[in-house]
Chain A
Amino acid sequence: MAESRLRNLGTVFTRIKGLIRGGAMKFEDRPLWYDVYEAFPPKLTPTAERPTVFKEIKDIMYPEDIIRAHFYKHFSSPGVINLVSPTGHTLSQKFVDTFLELAKDSRIPRNQLVQAALDEMAAQGTPLESEANVDIDYRKAGDPVYTNEREPFMPAGPFKWHKRGV
């Protein structure tokens, strides 16, 4: 069978189409996939020299990342994490959930949220101990991450958070 072996020129479809048009291949002898390709062409033309689509790749960050980092700094990684099962939560995730739940209550002072979350977890049967003072100093002067007055555990900087969950 006469065939073009120029793999970098055109696509599989255009090469076969050219052979049919030029008379080197009869239409009846076309490959089995030819009609399928014609009916369902790929979204991107499969040529070797297809121009690259440039797209800025952004960092994916969540508001609770700071809380989670704080947790791992003080409590390292306690316990067993089951990587096989997709269900269940890690200890740090439970801490983050408790923290965010308590943060909705505006009566709790912002700089005591961590201690409040620890107390709450202890009340639920998960006491955690740490050596040092556990509270985050959110209003650390000069730190742009912690200077958002309205929501102290949210950053004020030029970050854009992705919403969690689908």
Chain B
Amino acid sequence: MLARRTAQWLSQYLHRAGTTSTLQPRRHVQSLPLEQPNFRQSSSVFDSVIRESKDQTVVRSSELPPAIGRADEPIVDILKHPDYFGVKKLFTVKEMFQCGVHLGHMGGTLNERMQQFIFGKRFNQLIFDLDITAEYLRDALNVLSHISYRGGIVLFVCRDRQNCHIVEQTAIDCGEYAHTRYWTGGTLTDATNIFGGATRLPDVLVFLSTMNSILEQHIAIESAAIVNIPTVGIVDTNCNPNLITYPVPGNDDSPSAIEFYCHVFKTAIQNAKQRRLDDDRMKS
């Protein structure tokens, strides 16, 4: 049996390599024109997507609106500027598609509050409308940038085990905070007792997944609403977007999609912080 399989494999291999073989190839397929997958070169979908469009995603400082206080430019009221940090250029809908942001859950698990963000279903798998998602993501990134610019603290929250490492790494990279472990009740609502002293709470919470480990809504969403902290959250088709201040409809399970969100959030925060430094230097 093993020898026969080896012979089959060998015949296929030889056939593919362009040499002749006396062994008969497999019945249904005589030759395979497909390229062999090269897993070394592209470690993930996200990597290849970003590598292809790297030049587009980088916002150059010359493309940004003028900084405040420059001698030859009028002073810009930052909050009146529609896109002060250039977040609209951070990503394209095509990149979102390639990272699988459009993929939702099966039709039966749909939370009816998510209906308005859905494009349709393909063989009972729900598909997000990425044009809507892009609008909401751009709004969320803009607000996140403004809060970072003002020196606010961002807390990334994700209870998804397979994605928690990259979320923590993102928080480290942009100098912010992450909470990806068991959420002790009262972390926000009873912070003085939990941490043993007056505590500064975060100014915005970013949820890479609004579910906890048992697929119920994360407690931090209600906690943030109680202590009046706005939230940004990726909401999948089985989530409730109502209490999220800036919801972003999209896939919250696939590592490629999470890598995409982490990349844009990180870039937006880093850009905003850099912008703050530049503006302060201009003023002084």
Seen from chain A, the residues whose Cβ lies within 8 Å of a Cβ on chain B are 3, 5, 7, 11-12, 15-16, 31-33, 35-37, 39-40, 42-44, 46-50, 52-55, 57-60, 75-76, 78-82, 84-86, 88, 90-91, 94, 125-130, 162, 166
Q: What 8 pairs across the A-B complex have the smallest Cβ distances?
A: A82-B37, A7-B225, A39-B79, A53-B116, A60-B120, A78-B29, A36-B146, A60-B122
Please determine whether A80 and B204 come into contact, CB atoms closer than 8 angstroms.
Answer: no
Q: How far is the CB of A19 from chain B (nearest CB, A)?
A: 9
A126 pairs with B222, CB closer than 8 A: no
Which of B79, B120, B122, B228 gathers most chain A CB within 10 Å? B228
- B79-125 interface with A by 8 A CB criterion: 79-80, 93-94, 97-98, 107, 110, 112-113, 115-116, 118-122
Chain A proximity mask over B4-47: 1 for CB below 8 Å, otherwise 0: 00000000000000000000000111111111111100101100
A127 CB contacts on chain B under 8 angstroms: 30-31
Given known A-B contacts A44-B247, A49-B242, A127-B30, A59 and B122 have beta carbons under 8 A apart: yes
B79 engages A57 (CB within 8 Å) = no
Q: How long is the Cα–Cα vector from A59 to B120 in the complex, in angstroms?
A: 6
Contacts of A130 in B (CB 8 A): 28
Is B152 in the interface zone, CB < 8 Å from A?
Answer: yes
- Given the interface pairs A3-B228, A53-B116, A86-B48, the reply to whether A46 lies near B37 with Cβ below 8 Å is no
Residues of A within 8 A of B94 (CB): 166
**Would you call A31 and B116 a contact (CB within 8 A)?**
no
In the complex, A60 Cα to B123 Cα: how many Å? 8
Task: Determine the chain A residues whose CB is within 8 A of the CB of B113 once the complex forms.
Answer: 50, 52
Chain B residues near A85 (CB, 8 Å)? 37-38, 42, 48
Chain B interface size band reads: 35 or more
- Since A42-B247, A166-B97 are in contact, a sample of 6 more A-B pairs with Cβ atoms closer than 8 Å, ordered by chain A residue number, is A7-B226, A33-B147, A46-B246, A58-B120, A86-B98, A129-B28
Cα of A107 to Cα of B29 in the assembled complex, Å: 29
Contact A79 B32 (CB under 8 A): yes
Given A40-B139, A60-B119, A60-B120: A78 and B37 interface contact (C-beta under 8 Å): no
Give the docked Cα–Cα distance between A80 and B150 (Å): 51
A57-B115 CB under 8 A given contacts A36-B150, A40-B146, A75-B28:
yes
User: Are B126 and A57 touching (Cβ within 8 A)?
Assistant: yes
The answer to whether A78 and B28 touch across the interface, beta carbons within 8 angstroms, is yes
A12 surroundings in chain B (CB, below 8 A): 225, 228-230, 245
Name B43's closest neighbour in chain A (CB-CB).
A84
